[in-house]
Amino acid sequence: MNDRDEKGTRVYFDHNATTGARREVVEAMLPYFSRRFGNASSLHLFGQEARNAVERARSQVASLIGAEPGEIIFTSGGTESDNLAIRGVVAAKRTPARRPHVITSSIEHPAVIRTCRALEKEGVDVTFLPVNSLGAVSAEEVEAAVRPETLLISVMLANNETGVIQPSAAIAGVARRGGIAFHVDAVQGAGKIPVDAGAVGADLMSISAHKFYGPKGIGALYIRRGTGIEAVLTGGHQESGLRAGTENVPAIAGFGEACRISADRLGAEMAHIARLRDRIERGILAAIPDVGINGAGAERVPNTCNVTVRRVEGEALTLYLSVLGFALSSGSACATGETDPSHVLIAMGLDPVDAQGSIRISLGAENTDEEVDAFLDALPRVAARLREMSPIRGKC
């Protein structure tokens, strides 16, 4: 992934956007493109080979998050899982007598925020909770927002831009006391930190394979037994009647293998990545004046560093570094093309101009100290150059 070619060194620091599939993951997928190409719903040998792969992967996914295989529904990814969780619970629980109510936060992924905005147009009340300056939701504010008609609370496990981990277990307690379904978007947590659906207290949990070295286009929704939910995508009987459509067997097999490997290597990889992240943050603070680490002081996933370089536009910084061979992000990859500052950083109280000067560095298991050294050499020079050119003035 990080290699040298005729254009020079290429360093990938954008693992929250996506990761490359591990070699073992690709090898696990290959037979189901050709020799074992059967439809998993077919009763003959070809179909049963595919079915066995799907069920083996289901067990591997369940094992990663402390669930039972029967509680795992395969989807096309995190976005579909979020939609199924939110729309499916609202559809199952709403009644004509009461206008349904959903609680979420102001820092959620667009797959949650925009789904909730769409539900508002369909007659659902939604409360978007604020966060503190560290980017964390308060369980007390969740509890204060609960109404008799509240059907669902949806708060992410770890933020995709800052890496800040939310108080899921405390929020789950609020949901349990109120008899409310609790959905956790764990797309940026699963495969990066230990995740146990029971310990988190989730009734529903979204995960996505391509965030931890699995293939794109495949994800899962954990649904705790007894949770009321209706299908959003209708058609065939696949996935316990909750997700119609022929299963993507190669991707499912790869997803399962990614989960197996992650479970085996998580501890060692977390320690390695956390050390590199801490080196980067110390180096930035020492070398560049007038910067801030967003979410510093909060519990975070070990791979994510969100930095505000004041008096510099984050997009310009990202593009300049890209020319030098460093791949990172000026925000969420899902927001590329938008000119507004990050909704996450604004919710944390950052000045909109400062929010525009933020970049996200998200590390992976294959990153090295040499790459960190090269980055810490390049970033101060690029920041200084852009500040000289910047129309945004101020004193360091």
Residue of 228, 160, 157, 209 lying closest to 186 (CA atoms): 157
User: Helix, strand or coil for residue 182?
Assistant: strand
* CA proximity to 207, closest of 93, 325, 70, 109: 109
Kindly state the tokens that stand for 380. 């101060």
From the candidates 116, 259, 334, 396, give the one annotated as an active-site residue. Answer: 334
What span, in angstroms and rounded, lies between the C-alpha atoms of 360 and 280? 12
Distance separating alpha carbons of residues 229 and 87, to the nearest angstrom: 8
Q: Is 245 helix (H, G, I), strand (E, B) or coil?
A: coil
For the CA atoms of 147, 152, 153, 156, the dihedral, rounded to the nearest 10 degrees, stands at -170
| 3-state SS, residue 147 | coil
Q: Could you tell me whether strands 181-185 and 204-208 are parallel, antiparallel, or unpaired per DSSP bridges?
A: parallel
Q: Is 101 exposed, middle or buried (0-12, 13-18, 19+ CB in 10 A)?
A: buried
CA angle 304, 112, 348 (to 5 degrees): 50
Both structure tokens of 198? 């029971």
Token representation of residue 287: 């070398």
Q: How far apart are CA 362 and CA 341, in angstroms?
A: 19
Q: 208 Cβ partners below 8 Å, 6+ apart?
A: 77, 78, 81, 187, 190, 218, 219
- Rounded Cα gap, residues 290 and 309, in angstroms: 7
The reply to whether 334 belongs to the active site is yes
Q: Hey, which residues are catalytic here? A: 334
